[in-house]
Amino acid sequence: MYLISIEGGDGSGKGLAAKIIAEILEKEFTFTSVEKTGEPRRDHPLGRLAIESVKMQKLKPEGEAGLFAADRLDHSHGWILPYLKEGSSVVSERNIHSSLVYQGIVGNLGLERVAHINSAALIPDLCIWVDCNPEIALKRIKAGTLRNLSDKKEYFETSEFQRKIRGGYKNLLSGKFEMPTPFDMGAIIGPILNETSEDNFRKELTIAVKNFLHSKPPPINVEIHDVEMYHLKKLMNSLEGQSTLEDIGLQPLRNNKNWLGNSKPWKILLDAQKIHNKKLQQSSKEGNILFPKSILSHSISSICGTLSLMNSADISELREALGPVRNVSYSHSRKIIKFLYSELSWISQTKTLLSGETPKSRLKDDFHPFGRLLLIIWPIRSEIKKWQKNNPNSHLRLSLPQIIKESQNFQSINSMILRLNILGDGREKNNIINSEEDLIKWWNGD
């Protein structure tokens, strides 16, 4: 889902930074996977051509930049993009900013020209700039470890050259030079100095990555909607392939058809809100509100929605199953599960022979329609909350028709329609939803 690039001069610690960041992503967040890569690719013919052009010094800067761009374009669309579409994050040691500095600034080709040559490549969502004194970097290179791994001779091992590279990164990534389009869309963090201890370096990188991801930025290279659709389809397919294991403690699988139970979607949402509001009022009187104030909050919606597509799951399985839950921390997921179990009684918990000591949570049958509904209205949750706030005396059934009428975000409405056709409309006949009119009829239970 996110492409994170690590940039800096040779010997600055890019490899170590990439390793640390990948560890942070794997430990603290629940992406489909975390993939590590780098540019130019030494294991690919195009990457080796680019490296060879620097070693031989037979090409002009534009020809050299073209070879790096060819490797990057193939890398972007043939290797990185498929992972992003599945919800993975990719950590790349070097990417477009290396070419902007090495060929654009130091090679005097110009930033705009290098950007144009690379215009079809992916754009890093986050560029982390690591830095250190060129003298320290050169000592690291000459120490042997870096040389043995990557033959640093191709990058001209002179302190003067390292100073030019460092200056290029400083001018580009500090904002002194204007970042050329379209590569001005991504976030830049740095410089993060790597001149003291590894522990301090790790601490600074951890803060940078967490701050970026906790802000929940929309990915640049893929639509979040497409990532969610991938996970919805994947989970629906896994549901169809599951078998019933009642004899070891698992409850029978639910029928995916007629999940509305002949109720109206707006009424299912309204009934759930009444239960939640009653608990909210009770906790308010006690002066102890420790849970989200709306059932349309990200955490409740994602957890209840995901559980509606699973027979049962522990917290780790829940967070690995569907996209939205990945943006809820493990500790917060645990708090919401506890609230849904202990306070609202919307879920049941069991320990099975397969799960060992870890309890598995299951959305109770009475709230299964509510969970499915949350997945469908996910794209307009915030608009429903805003509508209710602005129209406190209007009936909830009027919300969707008015949101559709007034909304400028047609993508969210189309996303709802697509979700309905993936998850089923919850009625016995399971009609296909083709239009906004069909969507309103479904909402009203017609």
Q: What was the pLDDT predicted at 288?
A: 67
Segment 358-387 mean pLDDT? 92
Q: Which two tokens stand for residue 170?
A: 């400083």
Domains in the chain with CATH codes: 3-214 (3.40.50.300), 224-443 (no CATH)
pLDDT band for position 150 (50/70/90)? Answer: very low
Residue 153's CB is within 10 A of a number of other CB atoms, namely 11
State the pLDDT at residue 15. 92
The residue among 133 and 112 whose pLDDT is bigger is: 112
- Looking up tokens 């399971």 gives 430
Residue-level pLDDT at 430: 77
At 306-349, the pLDDT tens digits run 999 888 888 888 888 877 777 787 888 889 999 999 889 999 99
Query: In this predicted model, what pLDDT tens digit does every residue of 215-261 receive, in sequence order?
Result: 889 999 998 888 888 888 888 777 665 544 444 445 555 666 788 98
Question: What percent of the chain lies above the pLDDT cut of 90?
Answer: 56
- What value does the mean pLDDT take over residues 254-283? 88
Higher per-residue confidence, 91 vs 318: 91
Identify the pLDDT of residue 23.
Answer: 95
Give pLDDT, residue 20: 96
> What was the pLDDT predicted at 208?
95
Give yes or no for a contact between 413 and 404, defined as CB atoms under 8 angstroms apart.
yes
Q: What is the mean pLDDT of residues 177-194?
A: 95
12 pLDDT above the threshold of 70: yes
List Cβ<8 Å contacts ≥24 apart for 237-242.
239/309, 239/310, 239/311, 242/311
Give the model's confidence band at 281: pLDDT under 50 very low, under 70 low, under 90 confident, else very high: confident
Q: Which residues contact 201 (CB under 8 A, 6 or more apart)?
A: 13, 16, 17, 20, 192, 193, 194
Q: Indicate whether 26 pLDDT > 50.
A: yes
Question: Mind listing the pLDDT tens digit for each residue in 401-444?
Answer: 999 988 776 788 999 999 998 888 888 787 888 999 999 999 99
Q: Is the pLDDT of residue 265 over 80?
A: yes
Neighbour count for residue 351 (Cβ, 10 Å): 13
pLDDT greater than 90 at residue 77: yes
pLDDT of residue 411: 83
The counts of H helices and E strands in the chain are 20, 7
Whether the pLDDT of residue 78 is over 50: the answer is yes
- Rounded CA gap, 99 and 405, in Å? 47
Q: Which phi and psi (to 5°) does residue 191 adopt? A: -80, 140
What is the pLDDT, as a whole number, of residue 353?
57
Q: With beta carbons less than 8 A apart as the criterion, state whether 219 and 90 touch.
A: no
Residue 149 has pLDDT above 80, yes or no: no
Task: Give the per-residue pLDDT at 255.
Answer: 64
Which of 52-61, 136-145, 158-167, 237-246 ranks highest by mean pLDDT?
52-61
The share of the chain scoring above pLDDT 70, in percent, equals: 89
Q: pTM for the whole thing? A: 0.80
Q: CA dist 27 to 53, 252, 275, Å? A: 39, 33, 35
